Structure 1
């Protein structure tokens, strides 16, 4: 027998997929603009992942705003709102960052960490 709460979760998940899966079509964004948003997040994926976790931690846990405890009865709606807000913050961060740099901050750090010093500064080493 399926419990009522389990059925609600299944229906809620289905509605989330329907709403957020069709959002680009409802807002009628041109495909090139949708692609540039997702491309920006793709080029800064590691940085966006870390930003997402820091943002969620600062909003949810007790060392931050502690909203997880405060909104425990409002599940799952506030989580969906937080997810949407975090996604918008990630997209905005990625698009704004890539206007100035060619990679995300953590991607630049990793690139400099793994690239030999001579290649980072444009110095050619004779072989």
Structure 2
């Protein structure tokens, strides 16, 4: 079992290096680990006011019923569809270069909301 875990770890490090160009850094045990990459994306200021939240939520609900999104299963595909529907230009700026993936913590959502509110 330990060998399988080690093999999976090595393969994941190789995959990270190949796909993202991570640099290595030594861990506490002396083993080399991939250095965490900084994720860059356009940032838009977003103030979480009742008005802004209601405005965004109304658009979100309307887009959930849009013909392109309504029949999609719950998950990232549906979220991406809804956000694209809310604002194609903001989606293009923030998500198109690196779409949200299953299990990813969406650190770009507030920037997306800020973009949407600013472009109204």
The answer to whether the superposition gives a TM-score over 0.5 is no
TM-score by length of 2: 0.33
Higher strand fraction (1 or 2)? 2
TM-score, normalising length: structure 1? 0.32
Looking at secondary structure, tell me which structure has more helix per residue: 1
